[in-house]
Amino acid sequence: MKEQCNWLIVGLGNPGREYEKTRHNAGFRAIDRIAEKLNVKIDKLKFQGLYAQVNLDGGKLFLLKPQTYMNLSGRSVLQLSAFFKIPPARIIVLFDDISLEPGRLRLRKDGSAGGHNGIKSIIQELGSQDFPRVKIGVGAKPHPDFDLADWVLSTFDPQEEKALGPAIDRAADAALCIIEKGIAEASNRYSGKA
């Protein structure tokens, strides 16, 4: 019998309609897809975020969209995980990655922030970088001088959006696979696929 435990899946993004379709909100889109698959609404407002709770093999699965804006995401993650006693190893974070082309995924068991401010905030607040993550490719800046903030807050062109749709779906499946089969198996199945 499986150990009964709680899990948290966090999708990173910025709240507000004007950010919905931006590159930085790929994590929000993926967590919304998980909510659809599990037939729940992420609509409880607490812990500086919107969250949903699902029963899972005797434990509970929480889906969280921090409402703090990207750079302070860790505050929301810490509040919910501390309240429900969820250790970092059972916190899965879905977020945008500019080093991957749209449509590609990369799964990681742990690691540094890699320059991502949302991840940096989570590491800082949790005091740990030992949490699994699903990186969703959103494409690199068009040229080195392009402002990074402007880039991640830009929207996808139609071709990129077409590649992103299936990737969002796979990112959702990958996060659920981490819970079910572990990070190694999920990584084999979903990392690098386009």
- Whether 2 is covered by a domain: the verdict is no
- Whether 60 is covered by a domain: the verdict is yes
Catalytic status, residue 24: yes
| 56-77 residue pLDDT tens | 877 899 999 999 999 999 999 9
User: Residue 93 carries which side chain, given as an amino acid letter?
Assistant: V
Q: Tell me the CATH number at 95.
A: 3.40.50.1470
- Whether 147 is covered by a domain: the verdict is yes
Average pLDDT of the residues in 130-141: 97
Catalytic residue among 24, 33, 65, 106: 24
Whether the CB-CB separation of 12 and 70 falls below 8 Å is answered with: yes
- Whether 118 is covered by a domain: the verdict is yes
Whether the CB-CB separation of 26 and 168 falls below 8 Å is answered with: yes
Range of the structural domain that residue 51 is part of? 7-190
User: Can you give the pTM of this predicted structure?
Assistant: 0.96
Whether the CB-CB separation of 30 and 39 falls below 8 Å is answered with: no
Q: How many domains does the chain have?
A: 1
- Whether 1 is covered by a domain: the verdict is no
